Chain A
Amino acid sequence: MKQLNSIRDTDPVYNALTYVIASIALLVTLYPFVYIVAVSFSGSQEIYRGEVYLWPVNPTLEGYRQVLNQKGLWTAYQNTILYTIVGTLFNLVATTIAAYPLSRRSFSGRRFCNFFIAFTMYFSGGLIPTYLLITNLGFYNTRWVMIIPTLLSTFNVMVCRSAFSGIPDEVSESAQIDGASDWKIFSRIAIHLITPTLAVLTLYYAIGHWNNFMTPLLYISEARLMPMQVLLRRVLIQASSELMDIGGSSDDRAAVSIQIRYVTIVVATLPILASYPILQRYFVKGVMLGAVKG
């Protein structure tokens, strides 16, 4: 019987097709990164002549030397790290404190508050009224604008709320009997019970801050406050020559500029790429968290 099954199980065309598709997916996903790294380590003339496809041609660290010596890069990097760390901290504190009351079934304001925040997911004031409000509140060109307006993501609050709801009632009831106030239950017990969810939320918020481009685009004009993403836009897309400080022929300049750009991509994306293998299961978990209780 087993033999019969295994014969029917092997459909060589199907299996081959599966592996082909998976391999294509793998190639298509990874090749751009491989190419970018290869170019970043290649000689500028070879890049200009289009000789780089997979491996660095004429390996050199010249591009890295130039990019890493730029003060503007380090300022931007510091800003991004600052905004990410401080912002995520604020996000976590705010999200957990806001979500906890919503998760308590006996909370009298539950229906109202849930509706109140859910409504904002479907309708909002739009770009202009929000822009006018935030600038009128004096947030323009301040560091706080990167933290306060994006303090709560309603979706994340809901995920956190679901996580808190998953705590058995007996736990909080027995704490109540022992005389604990809601705040104590929250801070001493509930928080510690949802650490996996907190890990996922930390990740999502952190990545949100790291990649945030809209907020600084709209509200920050001073270079000393700029985060990485705005700098990246200038270098990669608007093809600014600010990261170049060499002479040489215009061909030379074009060649170096391409390399500078690819080096910049590597430098900017490195933290995410490096921490990715370790953190990726949290990413995946995050998807399921949102999907299960929704």
Chain B
Amino acid sequence: MKQTSLYPVQEKPIKKRFVLISVLNRDKYLYAMFLPFLIYYIIFNYIPMTGLVIAFKDFKPGHGIYHGDWVGLKWIIQFFNSPYAYRTIRNTVLISLYQLLFGFPIPILFAVCISEIRQIRFKRIVQTASYLPHFISTVVLVGIIMNFFAINNGIVNNIIEKLGENRINFLINPRWFRTLYVGSGIWSSFGFSSIIYIAAITGIDPSLYEAAKIDGITKFKQVYHITLPMISTTIVILFILQLGRVMSVGFEKVFLMYSPAVYETADVISTYIYRQGIESSSYSFASAVGLFNSLINFSFVYTANRISRMTTQISLW
């Protein structure tokens, strides 16, 4: 039995230093386990962040990244004064918006359809087939696009000709680029993206449907009034997350698909950075544009997350 006294006993606080040491000692294996990877992150992730200083300097090869004259915002101003700023930003935003507009609803629509199919074999076949394009590498995917839509022997133009129309030069005409890019993106990802919606739909309480059926609801109304609202949380989160990525169109696919003929609609920020930095070796300039892009992306994702948290109470962090 603990001895109680009438007066509160002042206990001497344990010195913080000793607690720290004993805790570090207790966790020493864990720290040892993580240490090599802490170093890995420092080297390959954080040191490049410090390397961003060359965005504000006049980098000359041979001088080292951290030397060179300080030029402040010269490169950023140069970027915005060039015609490429408007073009690349516009293309980046447009491609992302098209992807959102056309590519976002399709997996949802597909998921709703699949969930209604009663024949298990057919359902399984369609689902399995739909995931397949996701695992084709970007190179092969673009290779397929280039060959299918080629002017001379592409299957698409072959069919177009058979139907009596003229062959279309899909790959040289800038106006087709976004369509091809977004369309092929939808083809390769709709199945895989639908997985999460299908899972959400299977989680809907069946008694909701039963109650509605007793009141004589039609199938279409079922989807509109029950299915979609019940998975709306999932939809909203994914929508907001995708919105947060609007300024970050990936480099690989555009790079593989584009050519100088279609730069007008195809050149995005990431490919511009690549050309300026890697091909033209304008390291400082490209870093400045890259920094600008990273900051914009970060703020978009942060804002998107705040909105998500405020509206749905669910967020990334």
Residues of chain A at the chain B interface (Cβ within 8 Å): 5, 8-9, 11, 14-15, 17-19, 21-23, 25-26, 28-30, 32-33, 35-36, 47-48, 50, 53, 94, 97-98, 100-102, 104, 106-109, 113, 116-118, 120, 122-134, 136-137, 148-149, 151-152, 181-183, 186, 207, 210-211, 213-214, 218, 229, 232-233, 235-237, 254, 258, 261-262, 265, 268-269, 272-273, 276-277, 280, 283-284, 287-288, 291, 294
Q: Which residues of B contact A127 (CB under 8 A)?
A: 251, 270, 273-274, 277-278, 286, 290
* Contact indicator B137/A211 (Cβ below 8 Å): yes
A29: shortest Cβ distance to chain B, in Å? 5
10 closest A-B pairs (Cβ-Cβ)?
Answer: A125-B48, A236-B143, A129-B51, A126-B290, A211-B137, A14-B219, A182-B29, A101-B30, A129-B48, A11-B219
Q: Which residues of B contact A213 (CB under 8 A)?
A: 137-139, 252, 256
Interface residues of B in 1-58 (CB under 8 A from A): 23-24, 26-27, 29-31, 33-34, 36-38, 40-41, 43-52, 54
* Contact indicator B153/A47 (Cβ below 8 Å): yes
Q: Which residues of A contact B217 (CB under 8 A)?
A: 8
Q: Which residues of B contact A210 (CB under 8 A)?
A: 137
Query: CB within 8 A of B33: which of A128, A183, A265?
Result: A183
Query: CB within 8 A of A152: which of B41, B147, B251, B277?
Result: B41
* Contact indicator A265/B196 (Cβ below 8 Å): no
Query: CB within 8 A of B187: which of A29, A125, A129, A218?
Result: A29
Q: Which residues of A contact B116 (CB under 8 A)?
A: 14-15, 18
Give CA–CA (A235, B133) in the complex, Å: 20
In the complex, whether B80 has a CB less than 8 A from a CB of chain A is no
Nearest CB to that of A207 among chain B residues? B135
Q: Which residues of A contact B278 (CB under 8 A)?
A: 127-128, 131, 218
Residues of chain B at the chain A interface (Cβ within 8 Å): 23-24, 26-27, 29-31, 33-34, 36-38, 40-41, 43-52, 54, 65, 109-110, 113-114, 116-117, 122-123, 125-126, 128-140, 142-144, 146-148, 152-153, 155, 158, 161, 187, 190-192, 195-196, 199, 213, 216-220, 251-252, 256, 270, 273-274, 277-278, 283, 286-287, 290-291, 293-294, 297-298, 301-302, 316-317
Nearest CB to that of B123 among chain A residues? A22
Q: How many A-B residue pairs have CB under 8 A?
A: 257
A108 and B27 in contact, given A124-B294, A125-B48, A236-B147 (Cβ under 8 angstroms):
yes
Give CA–CA (A258, B138) in the complex, Å: 19
Nearest CB to that of B45 among chain A residues? A120
Give CA–CA (A148, B196) in the complex, Å: 32
Q: Could you name 8 residue pairs across A and B whose Cβ atoms are closer than 8 Å?
A: A14-B220, A50-B158, A53-B155, A97-B34, A126-B48, A128-B283, A182-B27, A229-B139
Q: Which residues of B contact A17 (CB under 8 A)?
A: 113
* Contact indicator A265/B143 (Cβ below 8 Å): yes
Q: Which residues of B contact A100 (CB under 8 A)?
A: 30, 33
Nearest CB to that of A14 among chain B residues? B219
B231: shortest Cβ distance to chain A, in Å? 13
Give CA–CA (A258, B133) in the complex, Å: 21
Query: CB within 8 A of B139: which of A236, A276, A291?
Result: A236
Q: Which residues of A contact B130 (CB under 8 A)?
A: 25-26, 29
Give CA–CA (A231, B42) in the complex, Å: 33
* Contact indicator A129/B54 (Cβ below 8 Å): yes
Nearest CB to that of B161 among chain A residues? A50
